[in-house]
Each structure stands twice: as structure tokens, then as C-alpha cells.
A = this chain, B = another copy of it.
């Protein structure tokens, strides 16, 4: 009996000492995918409460006055190589679409991110669905060169993520509601309030302070910041 009390106390202590990390991302961004997968791995080994924060990168670029890095030709070429190497290293099956500019800037991710926001709005008891639907959308745009703008595309991704046809129908409807449009706007604004200029953005809440990390290459600093070790999580 006494042992059980001690164990319960330990669990409660651990839960209360858990550091919260918010991860702002958009499925239009391949570096967000890398950040997302590595953080999802770390959530199993660090004593953290990872909060997935789907948001809209287009709003971040507009709100911060930033320009997409791929507009500088040498940078675009470098990023292609960099993504390929990182994808292999972290074992994330990134394969750029044939026309990245069309996929990222002409078609974009507004309907997709509203859909993910709707999934999050309806999900109870965790964020497994948000995680899986996000991953399936990344698989479409950044691995299989498939559309993520049409209802049929969102539906296909959600079904692959394990949602029922009935749930998907409701979510598609919800995703175009004012409630969800506003929810996505609020999340995007929150990221801008943290001075975002791109994604992924990890916001670590430590001792009442928010420490902000941009990109998918600051895991060592994040570990250092929250007092956890880095591990070889390449795959």
C-alpha cells in the first residue's frame, strides 16, 4: 500500500515537472517535417509534454515580412541537397515534388492546415490523430508529389491516418467554418507573438520563460535548455 502511494507520488511529481514544448508547424514546410518527426521521437525519451501547434506558414511569412529562402538560386540548390542528406540521416522519406514552387506557393497549404486544425478541435484525450493526419499530409506533398488542397486529398490522408469516412466528412465541413479559420489564425498569431519568421518553431516553457528555437537543427540546444540529454535519434 505504502509502495503504491510512493509510486503515485513519483508519477505526479514527474507529471508536474514536465516541461511543455509547443511545436508550431505547417505541412507545406519540409524542415517542419524533420523537426516534427525528431520531436515526436524525443517526446518518448524526454520528460516533456509536446503540444503540436498546426499553424499557417503563409501568414508567418506575410506577418514577419520574410521571404522564402528558395528564391535565391544557390540557396535553393543547397536546400535540395541539404534536405536529401537530412532525410537520409533522420530516416524521413522526403522526396521533393517535381515543381516545388507550384506545390508550395501556388497551391499552398491553407485548406490542409485548416483541416488539421479541425482534427485537433475534435480530438479528445491526446493528439494521435493530429500527429498521424499531419504525417500523412507530409507524405503526400513531400514524399509522393500528391495534392493536399482538394477535399478528396484531405479525405484520403485522414482515412490513411485511421479516421472513419463519417469522421472525415464532418471534419471537412468543420474545416471551412469560421470557428476553425479563426482557430488557425489565432495559432499563427501566437507564433508571430513569439517572433516567428518561419517554421518549425519550438517554444520551450522553462521556469516561467518561453525559449524559442527556429528550425530543425537546434535539438542539442533544446536538450540543454530543458536539462535533458541528446540521443542518437537519427532513425
Contact = CB atoms under 8 A, between A and B. Distances in A.
Interface of A: 64-67, 72-75, 77-78, 81-82, 85-86, 89, 192, 195-197, 212, 214-215, 217-218, 220-221, 224-225
B221 A72 contact: no
A75 B197 contact: yes
Given A85-B221, A89-B224, A217-B217, A73 B64 contact: yes
A82 B214 contact: yes
B72 A66 contact: yes
Contacts of A65: 72-74
B224 A78 contact: no
A220 to B, nearest CB: 7
A189 to B, nearest CB: 13
A210 to B, nearest CB: 11
A214 B72 contact: no
Contacts of A220: 89
A216 to B, nearest CB: 10
Contacts of A64: 72-75
Given A64-B72, A78-B214, 15 more contacts: A64-B73, A64-B74, A66-B72, A74-B192, A74-B196, A75-B197, A77-B195, A78-B197, A81-B212, A85-B221, A85-B225, A86-B221, A89-B220, A89-B224, A217-B218
